[in-house]
Amino acid sequence: MDEAAPCLSHPPAQQAFVETDTALQSFTDLIQESTIVMGRVFSKGYILLYVSLGLLLGWLILPDFHNNDHLSTHRRTGDGILNFFAAFEGYSECNVRASELYATPKKDRLGFYEANTFCHDRKHLLRALSEGGRVGFDAPYQPRGCNYRWFDAEEMCFILERFDGLIFVGDDTLQTIYSGFNILLRRDLALGALDLASMDKSLQEDCRCNNQFVRSDCQQHSLLESDRASQNDHVGSAYFCNRIKHAFLRVDSAEPASLVVEKFQQLAPKASRSKYRPIPVIHSLGPSTLSVGDAEASLLRFVELADESDRNTPMLWIGPTAAGHIDLKDRKGNQEIWDFDHKMTFTAQENEVDVLGMWNMTVQATSWDGMRFGEKVAITQAMMVMNWLSRLESS
């Protein structure tokens, strides 16, 4: 799969660069006009000194136009991270702060990030996210080698509008990530993961915030497709941007159920890839759901279904999470998880499927039942997936 150029995956950066370039041109024009005037007064030596000082001043006061890698992020990330969730429903009660999830990279003395602060392509991004760690239990997850971005709602909309759809296929672990995805797009920490039209008022009150993830009676009402939320905007939070269809399709066997195949084909209808935008597919299964052999068969089946559509369908395989710190009978241990992860990574890469590991991300995160993780982890995982989407080609 070809890498996308950073500027193609982030429209706000293009606009920021254009603004910076315009400012630089205006400044240059001013220098030239001033030089003509001053030339009537000063000798050639003074003119040269004047121009040199002017250019130096411009370099110091103008934004770092020499580095156009996502300039909007250079200006926002860190400054707005403390208040990122302030506009979200449930901000005051759910106790989720972006500064607890995202470690903001350091800036230089002029207030900008260095040129290589953020991962410059998809390959480095996935490696950094997969091989990162936490400085302490439940500390913000930090990628290794380069950083990912914490996009705001407008930026996420720009990313998603480049696609014709988005398909999540997998087990409970992936459904949790999809729930985090819905929370971000609905800007609702309290109930953004749920299909409120299927719940009575009493259950809605019981399922707020982290209970969306930790209570089984709440998880039964998890939102599974964008159309469902759009049809019930009067009941719960609407999507901040409702520009593409997306859905979660549950899989727990090597051969997907006929209804799953039918829904997949509806979301990725057969069409010439030259006429339509891409439809990314995100797939994940854990060793507690299927054996390695069955998980490989499932992955290859969805690669086949994606190819049958004749669409541009970039795929991401998400590896299993770590074993929690609560001992459970018959739960897969970390050695079994590592073996599963290693084999599935090899199979995915052999079939040109991108891979995002989640073991490092979850090994030092709180697991409420020894297997699953809560709202904070789900939101962070969803933002990691959003970063992968931002690096995909738009055609």
Spell out the domain ranges in the chain.
Answer: 6-72, 122-390
- β-sheet bridge partners, residue 133: 142
Q: Is there a contact between 317 and 360 (Cβ–Cβ < 8 Å)? A: no
The burial of 52, by beta-carbon neighbours within 10 Å (0-12 exposed, 13-18 middle, 19 or more buried), is given as exposed
pLDDT tens, the chain, 395 aa long: 444 433 333 444 434 433 444 444 444 454 455 444 444 434 445 545 555 565 555 444 443 333 334 434 444 444 578 899 999 999 999 999 999 999 999 888 888 888 889 999 999 999 999 999 999 999 999 999 999 999 998 999 999 999 999 999 999 999 999 999 999 999 999 999 999 999 999 999 999 999 999 999 999 999 999 988 766 554 567 788 887 899 999 999 999 999 999 999 999 998 876 668 999 999 999 999 999 999 999 999 999 999 999 999 999 999 999 986 665 555 567 889 999 999 999 999 999 999 999 999 999 999 877 677 999 999 999 999 999 999 999 86
What's the pTM value of the predicted model, to 2 decimals?
A: 0.79
Q: Is there a contact between 169 and 141 (Cβ–Cβ < 8 Å)? A: no
Closest C-alpha among 181, 267, 168, 175 to residue 221 = 175
- 122-390 has which CATH code? 3.40.50.1110
Closest C-alpha among 378, 360, 332 to residue 143 = 360
**The predicted structure's pLDDT at residue 241:** 81
